[in-house]
Amino acid sequence: MLKQAHNFDEGKRVARRNARRAGALAVSFILAGCAVGPNYKKPQAWSPSQWQKAATQEYSSALSVPTNQEPDAQWWAVFHDQELTSLEQRLAAQNLDVLQASEQLAVSRGQLLLAGAERFPDLAGSGSYHRVQHSSKQLQRIVERIGEHSAGSQLGEMLSSQSSEATIPLLNNWQDGVQASWEVDLWGRVRRQYEAAKAYTNATMEERRGILIARQAELASDYMTLRSLQEQLRITTESRDAAVKLLQLSQSRYKSGLVSELDVDSAQSELQRTSAMIPQFEQRIAMQINAINLLMGAPPGGLNDELVKTAGIPLVPPAVPIGLPSELAQRRPDIREAEAELHASTAEVGQAEADFYPKVTIDAGFGLQSFSFRDMGMWSSRMWNVGPSITIPFFQGGRLTGQLQMKKASQKAAALRYRKTVLNAWREVDNALTAYQAEQRKNQRLVEQVAADRRAMDLAQSQYRNGLQDYLQVLDAQRRLLSSQTNLTESTANISDDLVRLYNALGGGWETTFPQTQTKHT
């Protein structure tokens, strides 16, 4: 019976002990999970149910129609231009802005490591040796004071008489050990700091994507302009050759007495006017090639061999995949960057609120200390310390309050920037879709105008040879044909450039990945 009672009491003690341990563990979990300040909630980006009707409706004899199919990250492939594809694929590894953004991302990731390190204990080892000479005068004063307090005793008289002879010898001080310090994150200050750093790293990552997409679009746009200028140069050269033939015809008719010298002079003037346009196009082509060289991180003339070869303007495909409207917020890097900055600002509010609460730190250390090196291995040379320290911000002169107000204002500003970024994204997409369709309608009219001007030119030349028209009619037809051909070339390039701008407005691709050629920089 006594044994059973003893076992029962022992069982109750074990149960109480386990209950206390469980309670302490539960409190620690509760404190560890406590984080002051607002928790971030992903904002709901506004988006229409469908693209604007004017941009998606089918219209007669359209060159290219947007569709809701998922676009490819390598959107430039829709032009089926090998040179453009080659340049775009090399851009991520050569463009200096993209490379600089990659290094800035590496800096941001380093800052994230620094912020994350505060979640763990700070552990450091140390060792030292000092040749120490302490003050013997201080020792003498101490011995003298002890003797004065022990006056009347044999010990006091001995200390008072011999205090002037007390000396401290030259000592060797050997010491090594390990020190640890860890902040108990009761209020989530460290976690909020890490959360903000992680969000800022995501923002930097999206900024790099935005730079890459912008440079890809800029490269494609410059390429379209280059091919347009080369095509205009070809048209102008053909017009000059036609002017040479007209000059020869007018000279022949003048020698035959069929026309006056005015026709010859007018033909000569038109030839010189057209010839003067050629150097201008050559200059603009050279400048455009240099612009592409800069984008590709090459010196002037570095890509001349592959770019001076003339090629037609890349044409748009019959169907252009642009995805769904609801996907825009996930595709645009500037929207994702603004969202990450809003997340960081929200976390910083919590970090600022946590600064109002006590800061608890646990410090610990263990080591060996001795005046002799051979005693360092003895257990009696050990020294250690362990214990918490607490810092309570009683008075900060308004610093913490001002910091909290600043972080809350920054959060509101970040929320407004996010809203503006979303609205601006839809404005750019809407404008790009409108421009893409409007330019196609304009191009159709220019095709008809060029055909009419060419027929007028052929008719004017034929009538001039037969003496049915004067040269002014031929000159006018020649100029109108050159002008309409130039306008058609520019419009064709503008259609392709508008498609580039559309893909840039849609986010361009690389939503969750980055070109593999850039891996070594990340």
Rounded to an integer, the average pLDDT of 423-449 is: 92
Rounded to an integer, the average pLDDT of 51-59 is: 52
Rounded to an integer, the average pLDDT of 466-480 is: 85
Is 133 within a domain?
no
- Picking from 415, 364, 365, the residue whose alpha carbon sits closest to that of residue 389 is 364
DSSP letters for 171-225: EEEEEEEEEEEEEE-SSSHHHHHHHHHHHHHHHHHHHHHHHHHHHHHHHHHHHHH
Which token pair is 340? Answer: 């990450």
Q: What percent of the chain has pLDDT over 70?
A: 86
CA distance 415 to 40: 12
The CA–CA distances, whole Å, from 369 to 132, 258, 332 equal: 14, 121, 62
β-partners of residue 67 are 321
Is 365 within a domain?
no
Rounded to an integer, the average pLDDT of 360-378 is: 77
Rounded to an integer, the average pLDDT of 370-387 is: 74
Rounded to an integer, the average pLDDT of 460-466 is: 85
pLDDT bin (cut points 50, 70, 90) of residue 152 is low
The total domain count for the chain is 1
Is 163 within a domain?
no
Is 33 within a domain?
no
Is 227 within a domain?
yes
pLDDT bin (cut points 50, 70, 90) of residue 23 is very low
Instruction: List all residues 6 or more positions away from 140 whose beta carbon is below 8 Å from its beta carbon.
Output: 163, 164, 166
Residue pLDDT, tens place only, 229-279 = 999 999 999 999 988 988 888 888 888 888 788 888 888 998 999 999 999
Is 260 within a domain?
yes
Q: How many CA atoms lie within 13 A of 8 on its CB side?
A: 5
Is 374 within a domain?
no
Reported pTM = 0.80
pLDDT of residue 518: 45
Query: Helix (H, G, I), strand (E, B), or coil: what is residue 123?
Result: strand
Instruction: List all residues 6 or more positions away from 126 whose beta carbon is below 8 Å from its beta carbon.
Output: 175, 176, 177, 178, 179, 367
Q: Read off the CATH number of the domain in which 459 is found.
A: 1.20.1600.10
Domain assignment of residue 508, given as a range: 38-122+206-357+397-521
pLDDT of residue 33 exceeding 90, the answer is no
Taken in order 252, 257, 261, 266, the sign of the CA dihedral is: negative
8 A C-beta contact, residue 112 and residue 203? no
State the burial class of residue 146 (Cβ atoms within 10 Å of its Cβ: 0-12, 13-18, 19+): middle
Query: Helix (H, G, I), strand (E, B), or coil: what is residue 313?
Result: coil
8 A C-beta contact, residue 156 and residue 148? yes
pLDDT of residue 29: 42
β-partners of residue 178 are 125, 366
> Longest C-alpha distance within the chain, in Å?
152
Is 380 within a domain?
no
Q: State the amino acid at position 12 in one-letter form.
A: K
Return the ∠ at Cα 157 (arms to 151 and 163), rounded to 5°: 110
